Amino acid sequence: MDPENPQVGDLLIRFSALMPDDVSIDSVQRGNGFMLYFAANGDTIELLEYGRLSAQQVFQSAQDRNTLLTWIIRALAFRFAFIGLRMLLRILPVLAAMIPAIGGLVDALTGLITFILSTAIFLITIASAWVYYRPGFAVALLVGTPIVTAGLIWAKSAKRKQAVLQMNGTAIPTTPPPA
């Protein structure tokens, strides 16, 4: 076996060294090893972070990763809810496109309606999941979501009424007439 002239069937073996590094572990030490820590609620804890960190820093790092993952999942869930509702309502702009000049308007309105509905569904879903752990926040979301949704719909309808009145040439008084 000549390294300069490899033949079929020869094996190339490379060695590398992994240099030791400082790590911080939150776990249970048993003898020469580590085992899972069983918390009172039945969950297990075993955390490892590179570097010399305190137990509080290791737990904070794990909590930060968990928070980031939670927000990524929430953003994806909202996006999927929006896409699903948009697909359900997509027939309306397609049908409206048969009449010139209103296809784009109907498409914009269904987009707004889809956004409002997906936001409401998303917030209600989150609130119902939090009822056990954060009941005050969950109730605020469950009560506030319909109020905010109704406010958005009312604001949009008020703008639409104002636009229709302006198109008809009717001015909307911004101040009361003089007495």
pLDDT digit string (tens) for 113-126?
A: 898 889 888 888 88
Residue 164 has pLDDT above 80, yes or no: no
Q: What share of the chain is helix, strand, coil (3-state, %, to 5)?
A: 55, 10, 30
**Out of 1-10, 85-94, 118-127, which region has the weakest mean confidence (pLDDT)?**
1-10
106 within 8 A of 96, measured Cβ to Cβ: yes
For the residues 17-33, what does the mean pLDDT come to?
86
| Greater model confidence, 28 or 168 | 28
Could you report the per-residue pLDDT of 147-159, keeping only the tens digit for each?
Answer: 887 887 788 777 7
- pLDDT on residue 173: 55
Could you report the per-residue pLDDT of 45-73, keeping only the tens digit for each?
Answer: 888 888 998 889 988 999 999 999 999 99
46 within 8 A of 37, measured Cβ to Cβ: yes
| Greater model confidence, 160 or 133 | 133
- Label residue 104 by pLDDT band (50, 70, 90): confident
| Greater model confidence, 36 or 100 | 36
